[in-house]
Structure formats: structure tokens, C-alpha cells
């Protein structure tokens, strides 16, 4: 595994340098949110910032380093309450919905988050606060890691599928409702009546509401599963 920006000794900033790492991350986040990973390059970013490439590389030596910084910046947007304020279940509910909102704001996130380990300060804080909620439920040790991992995997998988669908529609110059109608039309030609009916349920009506309802239903299943493993089940 290559060395991480989080474990590398930072270089001293030259006295006349005015560009900051925070400015670089903010500009890169805007570029990614607008155009996705294909729209991000160190050369384009330097031009966006009106800076020379040398100045940019002084703060962020590689594109992998920039991705690490961006992932951690996104994790810092997630709201995770203290268990004393919300209780374990309401706290995890808020955590999951906040994580979903963060991913929908930054649809490139599922594509990159597993390419390198998240070791930044926001990722560490997110894990610590998430485990505190699990511990408040009475689950400790490896099972706490597994429970938190299950919750986060659900959110990433569910929301990752949603943002991928929205990106497919965007690339095709369609709304998600138009894309859903096209998918339904194609599915109608398939001979399996069970899957035709399933496709009708998932592609008719308000697609935004369908995504939300699907997420909340699945999240309740995950939380019920966690509750069933408590030392004193609810």
C-alpha cells in the first residue's frame, strides 16, 4: 500500500506561498460535484485556482493524496449525535440519513471511497462516534465493528445505486422519471411476469419518493437486526 497523506510528514510552506490546502480541497470538491471524477485533473485544478502546478503539488503531491483529502472532507459533513442526546437507535437513524444526504451531494464518493483506506481525522471521528452509538446499545468488541460496518455498507450500497441511476439519467440527458419509463418499457418485453410486475412497482410513480421509501425500509430492517442482537432485546 502506498504511503498515505495522513501518515506523511508535512512539508513547511514557503513564506511567499498564498495558496492553502483548504482552498485546493474546496475547488476540487466543486469540480467533482459538477463533473465527476472524469472532470478532475491536477492541471485543470491549478488553472481553476489561478495557480501554477508547482504551487499545487507543494500542498498536494499526488492525485491520490487529493482523493484522500476529498473523502475525508465529505466524511466531515456527516452528523452523528452523542448517544446521551439521541439514544442509540435514533442516533444511528440520524447518522444513516446524514450519510445518505452527504453521498447524494457528492455522488462521486462511492466510486472512490474503497480505493484507499480512510485514515483522515474526519473518518476517525466518524468511526469513533458511530461506535459510541453501538456501544450505547450494549454491543461491544468485534460485534460493534461488524454492526457499524453493516449499517454503513447498507447506506453506501443503497445510496450508491441511487446516485449511479441519477448519473445514468444525467449522461443520457433525461430525468430519472424518464429513465425509469424507458427501463419499464424494455422490461415489458421480457417474458418473466414476476419481474415485470416488480419493475412496474419500482419505475412508476414518484421515483424520488421510491428511492427514499426503499432506503427507509431497508434502514429499519438493519436497525431491527441490530436490536435483535442486543444483550436485552427491545
Q: What is the pLDDT of residues 2-27, one digit of tens each?
A: 667 777 766 656 546 678 889 999 99
Q: Do residue 110 and residue 164 come from a single domain?
A: yes
How many whole angstroms separate alpha carbon 95 and alpha carbon 129? 10
142 exposure class (CB count in 10 Å sphere: 0-12, 13-18, 19+): exposed
Domain end, chosen from 39, 57, 74, is at 74
Q: Is the pLDDT of residue 67 over 70?
A: yes
C-alpha grid cell, residue 3: 504511503
How many whole angstroms separate alpha carbon 69 and alpha carbon 121? 10
Contact 144, 230 (CB under 8 A): no
How many whole angstroms separate alpha carbon 85 and alpha carbon 146? 24
C-alpha grid cell, residue 148: 457499524
Q: Is the pLDDT of residue 154 over 70?
A: yes
Q: Is the pLDDT of residue 187 over 80?
A: no
Q: Do residue 133 and residue 154 come from a single domain?
A: yes
- Dihedral (C-alpha) 227, 231, 233, 234: value to the nearest 10 degrees? -80
* Residue 47 maps to a domain: yes
Could you tell me which residues come within 8 angstroms of residue 32 by beta carbon, excluding any fewer than 6 positions away? 39, 40, 70, 106, 108
Pick 11 or 223 by higher pLDDT.
223
Domain end, chosen from 74, 106, 136, is at 74
Instruction: Output the domain CATH number for residue 97.
Output: 1.10.357.10
200-223: average pLDDT: 88
* Residue 10 maps to a domain: no
Q: Do residue 119 and residue 62 come from a single domain?
A: no
Q: Do residue 67 and residue 103 come from a single domain?
A: no
Q: Do residue 90 and residue 69 come from a single domain?
A: no
Q: Do residue 41 and residue 134 come from a single domain?
A: no
* Residue 14 maps to a domain: no
* Residue 178 maps to a domain: no
* Residue 1 maps to a domain: no
pLDDT band at 218 (very low <50, low <70, confident <90, very high): very high
% of the chain surpassing 90 pLDDT: 49
39-48: average pLDDT: 85
Q: Do residue 69 and residue 131 come from a single domain?
A: no
pLDDT tens digits for 125-139? 999 999 999 999 999
Q: Do residue 132 and residue 211 come from a single domain?
A: yes
Q: Do residue 61 and residue 90 come from a single domain?
A: no
Least confident of 25-34, 99-108, 168-177, 180-189: 180-189
* Residue 215 maps to a domain: yes
Q: Do residue 37 and residue 139 come from a single domain?
A: no
Give the model's pLDDT for residue 18.
73
87-104: average pLDDT: 97
Could you tell me which residues come within 8 angstroms of residue 93 by beta carbon, excluding any fewer than 6 positions away? 219, 223
Q: Do residue 49 and residue 100 come from a single domain?
A: no
Least confident of 43-52, 95-104, 124-133: 43-52
Q: Is the pLDDT of residue 148 over 90?
A: yes
Domain that holds residue 69: 21-74
Give the model's pLDDT for residue 12.
59
pLDDT band at 86 (very low <50, low <70, confident <90, very high): very high
Give the model's pLDDT for residue 15.
46
Q: Is the pLDDT of residue 165 over 90?
A: no
Least confident of 86-90, 151-155, 204-208: 204-208
The string of DSSP codes covering the chain is -PPPTTTSPPPPPPTT----HHHHHHHHHHHHHHH-GGG--HHHHHHHTT--HHHHHHH--SHHHHHHHHHHHHHTT-----HHHH-HHHHHHHHHHHHHHHHHHSTTHHHHTTTS---SHHHHHHHHHHHHHHHHTT--HHHHHHHHHHHHHHHHHHHHHHHHHHHHHHHTT--HHHHHHHHHHHHTTSS-HHHHHHHHHHHSS-HHHHHHHHHHHHHHHHHHHHHHTSSS--
Domain end, chosen from 74, 109, 138, is at 74
Q: Do residue 110 and residue 220 come from a single domain?
A: yes
Amino acid at each position: 500500500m502506498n504511503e498515505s497523506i495522513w501518515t506523511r510528514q508535512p512539508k513547511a510552506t514557503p513564506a511567499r506561498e498564498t495558496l492553502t490546502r483548504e482552498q485546493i480541497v474546496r475547488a476540487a470538491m466543486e469540480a467533482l460535484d459538477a463533473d465527476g471524477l472524469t472532470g478532475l485533473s491536477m492541471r485543470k485544478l491549478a488553472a481553476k485556482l489561478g495557480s501554477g502546478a508547482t504551487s499545487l503539488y507543494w500542498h498536494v503531491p499526488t492525485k491520490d493524496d487529493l482523493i484522500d483529502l476529498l473523502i475525508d472532507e465529505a466524511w466531515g459533513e456527516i452528523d452523528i449525535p452523542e448517544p446521551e442526546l439521541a439514544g442509540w437507535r435514533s442516533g444511528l437513524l440520524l447518522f444513516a440519513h446524514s450519510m445518505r444526504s452527504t453521498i447524494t451531494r457528492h455522488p462521486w464518493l462511492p466510486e472512490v471511497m474503497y480505493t484507499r483506506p480512510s485514515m483522515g481525522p474526519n473518518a476517525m471521528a466518524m468511526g469513533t462516534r458511530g461506535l459510541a452509538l453501538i456501544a450505547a446499545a450494549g454491543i461491544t468488541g468485534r460485534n460493534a465493528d461488524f454492526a457499524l460496518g453493516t449499517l454503513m455498507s447498507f447506506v453506501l450500497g443503497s445510496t450508491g445505486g441511487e446516485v449511479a441511476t441519477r448519473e445514468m439519467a444525467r449522461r443520457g440527458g433525461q430525468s430519472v422519471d424518464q429513465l425509469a419509463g424507458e427501463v419499464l418499457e424494455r422490461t415489458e418485453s421480457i417474458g418473466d411476469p414476476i419481474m415485470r410486475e416488480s419493475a412496474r412497482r419500482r419505475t412508476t410513480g414518484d421515483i424520488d419518493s421510491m428511492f427514499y421509501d426503499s432506503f427507509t425500509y431497508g434502514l429499519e430492517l438493519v436497525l431491527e437486526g441490530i436490536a435483535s442482537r442486543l444483550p436485552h432485546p427491545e
